[in-house]
Amino acid sequence: NWGLKSLTYRVKKNRKAYYTLMDITCPPAALNEMERQMGLSEDVLRFLTIKVEAHEEGASAMMQKREERSERGGFGDRDRGDRGPRSFG
């Protein structure tokens, strides 16, 4: 699960959506049924099915980015440090 992401443009009146990556091996009939179910679901905005010859081992590029962000802190180099919170007023 890549998590909640902002969409570049609205899709079915939504500005944000959850992205999910699934690496599966299944017979064609099962894949056809899964695609049919996703097409019928109102919760699925879009889906894309890609056939690959070999699955890559390890975390996806998106998950690697997430891990790097968590290692360096939530805001990375944008952290306000010891300056305290902003005040408006």
Which residues are CB-neighbours of 12 under 8 A, at least 6 positions away?
45
Question: Among residues of the chain, what percentage have pLDDT more than 70?
Answer: 67
In a domain, 32, yes or no: yes
Nearest-angstrom CA–CA distance, 78 and 75: 5
In a domain, 71, yes or no: no
In a domain, 86, yes or no: no
Q: What pLDDT is stored for residue 41 in this prediction?
A: 92
In a domain, 18, yes or no: yes
In a domain, 37, yes or no: yes
Number of folded domains that form the chain: 1
Range of the domain at 4: 1-52
The residue assigned the tokens 């609205």 is 10
Nearest-angstrom CA–CA distance, 65 and 1: 13
* Mean pLDDT score, 7-27: 87
Q: 47 in helix, strand or coil? A: coil
In a domain, 67, yes or no: no
pLDDT grade for 64, boundaries at 50, 70 and 90: confident
Length of the chain: 89
In a domain, 19, yes or no: yes
pLDDT digits (tens, 9 = 90+) for 36-51: 999 999 888 888 898 8
